[in-house]
Structure 1
Amino acid sequence: MDYSKMPNNKILCVDMKSFYASCSAVMMGLDPLTCYLAVVGDTERQGSVVLAASPQLKKEFGIRTGSRRFEIPNDPRIHVVNPQMQTYLRISTEITRLFNRYAPKNAIHTYSVDESFIQVDGVEGIWGGATIIAQKIREDMVREFQLPCAIGIGPNMLLSKLCLDLDAKKKGIAEWTYEDVKTKLWSVSPLREMWGIGSRVEKTLNRMGIFNVGQLAKYPLELLEKKFGVMGNQLYHHAWGIDLSELGAPIIQGQVSFGKSQILMRDYTDPKEVQHVLLEICEEVARRTRHHRKAGRTISLGIGYSRDELGGGFYRSRTMERPTNITMDLYHTCLELFAENYEKKTVRKIAVSLSNIVDDSEMQLSLFELERPKKRQLGYVMDRIRGKHGSNALLRAVSYTNAGTAKHRSRLVGGHKA
């Protein structure tokens, strides 16, 4: 691989350690690195999900994001608190302002509430090299916010992110170059530790005889493309540490999808109630898709069963004849998938995603669906009303049933208590 033709920037990937838990710890006068603290969706519900756990709680008690409230030991040292989303978002905004001291706004990309990319090419002459800038940011973070962070440095967004996840989170600050790919990236196994590879893709790669990143990099490109399409091309080049996307663009170009998953507030035993929530989720997925002026052809439905039924569930996809961003198109396809795969068990999690994305302008007209353009336009009108007057300004009737969750969630920030 000829790296001389590849982008060779200085990009920092900054991650706030256990951000929600660290913020709550500081507000309580505790040390984020030594205290035992969990932020849960609702402290009053034993089945509530842990949103963040302090490093010490993870290390000594094995409690981490996704654990349940009832799994937290009854130990007097452990603090269990509700989230304060508005405060977390305000702190995140202030941290972005801190980054702006060292780089212009167009060189800062907020990837999530607790993770950001900063391109420092051009400002190294002012502040020093990328490592020095990373040290200054960490020092400012501790001095002004009492919050810990880790920073990975790389020549592109992908390598800076991989450096963060695989190296910097242990050391505090680390830097990878293209020369480090073979010695530091290729040995990564299992494959799910590689950013961008999920459990399903990992299982498929394992069946192909690929168990570490080095084997992925040496696998014939044409065979990967034949198996995964454009994603196969991306998997191959990412295994070589190559990422051509610009700062702020999706790290995995062409893999764009729009989705929403929801852990239900209680067990749903009635499939009719599950369908009510499913409609609400399809509405949100369609809205997110329209917000980007996109449409999609492949709808995926994931159903997770309650732990009381030993867990399990299914994940199935179906490609529709025409791309769409109309809520009811998504919903009817999901209903088909649900009817075909539901095992009459108690449901606790629902996930819907729309992929195979195209521009909205590619939505096709049909002689048999003359109302289709009106349905498409109606979606945009509803989005504008909600944008102006709030997400609960227009709700479907199912949201007012006992099964509906949209009415309750409209009062939340980031899906959790403000």
Structure 2
Amino acid sequence: MDIAYDSLPKRTIMCIDMKSFYASCAAVALGLDPLTCHLAVVGDTEREGSVILAATPALKRDFGIKTGNRLFEVPKDSRIQLVNATMATYLNISVQVTELFYQYVPMEAIHTYSVDESFLDIRGTERLWGSDWELAEKIRDDLYKRFGLSCAIGIGPNMLMSKVCLDIEAKKRGIAKWTYDDVEKKLWPISPLQKMWGIGSRVERRLNHMGIFSVEQLAAYSLPKLEKAFGVMGNQLYYHAWGVDLSELGAPILNGQISYGKSQILMRDYNDPIEVKRVILEMCEEVAARAREERRAGQTVCLGVGYSKDATSGGFHRQMTVAEPTNITMEMYDVCLKIFAKNYDGSTVRRVSVALANICDDDSIQLNLLDTARPKQRELGYAMDEIRRKHGSNALLRGVSYAQGGTARHRNTLVGGHKA
């Protein structure tokens, strides 16, 4: 298939990634060089099983320690510094970085993708700042001079190409640029498929079962067959394999895949299913509140339970579609209990995730005339949310949060899941 690239919108998008952001911020705060010091940011330096949230490039290179390792895996070496995460500080610096971008492009041309990654639409800035490459170099220099932080910048004709350019090439070289002319020689060789932005482990497994192991094979596959297997997502997978992404700045990489979810690694092993259910209820409360905050509801409830590494299986992830969309906590919880009862095998639990998918507007919910309590439950949820907004997350909690195994009280004191 030949893509008429000349007919596509003429855009220039930058994807900017702050290198080892948490670790670099911590290093600069201590007066160290982020590129040469050996430093790791840890969730809690007092817990041997705590996760390494970020590591400086030197620590990755010289000791093989990277994000996701556990504290007990860090060698006892005097050159290595361990610091607790201070998420409030990192978020504050992230905001200041975004404010720096305002010097180059208007606010609507910036999409903050995560704490350490942003997209910039730089169309029309040539007369002010020169070429895209010159602007990228200026932004890198300004970030280093002001914050002492390094970054990598991928440049492309759309969000997809700039992000993949960043991940595949710019993170090694500092700055890189891909155009549609680079699709065949740079995009297509990508393998395994998880290296492609927007393709997760589950989608990759499904594609592998279809005989697709590289982006080139994905581009050569039958579009109707992909759409039959994946629906609208199959269409987007196909065109992304050709480097085509028509989404507006800040739109989801795969339209139609919006959901609300929450996942947590438990502080300890949970052997008692009653305690696990308490955590599930707390998480249903949080997910439902997130949906209510945007006046949304969902028709599919998802529950994931990950077992301890000593268990014989990894756990399960199942979903169930209900008759009517919901954002009512107890309705979600009842569905999760059914999934849990059907799939839990008694193993030790270490991770729990809850999600609400198949999203629609809350005002489209059909009220059942035979269920007079449902409207009251819906209004109660919004009332509880308002109390928490005014007085704090811990101002109103369910009783399970005060029982053995509850985690909400502690997590509500954290920022981004870690110490503030």
Range class of TM-score, shorter chain: over 0.9
Question: For the residues of structure 2 that align with 1:62 and 1:302, how far apart are their CA atoms?
Answer: 30
How far, CA to CA, are the matches of 2:312 and 2:58 in structure 1? 29
Secondary structure of residue in 1 paired with 2:417: coil
Look up the equivalent residue of 1:402 and give its one-letter code.
Answer: Q
Q: Is residue 354 of structure 1 aligned with residue 368 of structure 2? A: no
Match of 2:63 in 1: 61
Q: Distance in 1 between matches of 2:226 and 2:370?
A: 39
Deviation at 1:5, TM superposition (A): 2.4
Aligned-partner Cα distance in 1 for 2:199–2:73: 28
Distance in structure 1 (CA, Å) of the matches to 2:59 and 2:337: 41
Q: CA deviation at 1:62?
A: 2.5
Q: Which amino acid in structure 2 is aligned with residue 80 of structure 1?
A: L
Choose 152-161 or 303-312, whichever is displaced more. 303-312
Q: Which amino acid in structure 2 is aligned with residue 60 of structure 1?
A: D
Counterpart check, 1:168 vs 2:170: yes
Residue identity in the other structure for 1:342: Y
Per-residue Cα deviation, 1:358-382 (whole angstroms, up to 9, x for no partner): 1212212223322212212221222
The superposition leaves residues 101-127 of structure 1 with CA deviations (integer Å, 9 ceiling, x where unpaired) of 111111111111111111111222101
SS in 1 for 2:47: coil
Structure 1: how far apart are the matches of 2:284 and 2:64?
Answer: 34
Out of 277, 280, 303, the residue aligned to residue 279 of structure 2 is: 277
The Cα shift of 1:310 comes to 6.2
| Separation in structure 1 between the aligned mates of residue 256 and residue 71 of structure 2, nearest angstrom | 38
SS of the aligned residue for 1:266 comes to: strand
Partner of 1:27: 29
> Residues 192-231 of structure 1: matches in 2 within 5 Å?
192-231=194-233
Shift of the alpha carbon at 1:311?
6.6
**Partner SS for 1:47:** coil
Which of 327, 330, 338 matches 2:340? 338
Per mean C-alpha deviation after superposition, the further-off stretch among 301-310 and 28-37 is 301-310
> In terms of mean alpha carbon deviation, does 356-365 or 38-47 score higher?
356-365
Q: Using the alignment, how far apart are the partners of 1:116 and 1:380 within structure 2?
A: 32
* Alignment equivalent of 1:9, drawn from 8, 11, 29: 11
SS at match of 1:392: helix
Partner residue, 2:152: 150
SS of the equivalent of 1:245 reads: coil
Verify: 1:371 aligned to 2:373, yes or no: yes
Query: 1:302: which partner in 2?
Result: 304
Aligned residue in 2 for 1:256: 258
* Corresponding residue SS for 1:309: coil
* Cα distance between partner residues in 2 of 1:207 and 1:169: 31
1:244 to 2:246 alignment: yes
Secondary structure of 2:394's match?
Answer: coil
Distance 1:3 1:389 in 2: 53
Tell me the amino acid that sits aligned with residue 260 of structure 2: F
The Cα shift of 1:138 comes to 0.5
SS at match of 2:97: helix
1:290 counterpart (284, 289, 292): 292
Q: Partner letter of residue 274 of structure 2? A: K
Give the secondary-structure state (helix, strand or coil) at the position aligned to 2:54.
Answer: strand
TM-score by length of 1: 0.97
Q: Give the equivalent residue in structure 2 for 1:316.
A: 318
- CA distance in 1 between counterparts of 2:35 and 2:254 reads 33
CA distance in 2, matches of 1:183, 1:14: 23
For 1:323, the aligned partner's letter is P
Secondary structure in 2 aligned to 1:22?
A: helix
Deviations 1:309-338 (A, max 9, x none): 367111111112221111112111111111
Between the aligned partners of 1:180 and 1:32, the Cα distance in structure 2 is 33
Q: Matched residues in 2 for 1:87 and 1:37: separation?
A: 17
CA-CA distance at 1:350 after TM superposition: 0.7
Give the superposition deviation at 1:61.
Answer: 2.5
Query: Deviation string for 1:43-78 (max 9, x for gaps)?
Result: 101111111111222223332222211111112111
Distance 1:199 1:61 in 2: 27
Q: Which runs of 5+ in 1 are unaligned?
A: none
Greater CA deviation, 331-340 or 55-64? Answer: 55-64
Specify the code of the residue in structure 1 equivalent to 2:174: G
Q: Could you tell me the TM-score, scaled by structure 2's length?
A: 0.97
Deviations 1:370-395 (A, max 9, x none): 22122122212221221122111111
Give, in whole Å, the separation in 2 of the partners of 1:259 and 1:179. 38
CA distance in 2, matches of 1:369, 1:51: 47
Cα distance in 1, alignment partners of residues 294 and 135 from structure 2: 34
Shift in Å, 1:268:
0.9
Separation in 1 of the partners of 2:181 and 2:247?
Answer: 20
Aligned length: 418
Distance 2:48 2:312 in 1: 18
Equivalent in the alignment of 1:118: 120
Name the structure 1 match of 2:101: 99
Between the aligned partners of 1:325 and 1:93, the Cα distance in structure 2 is 31
- Give SS of 1:307's match: coil
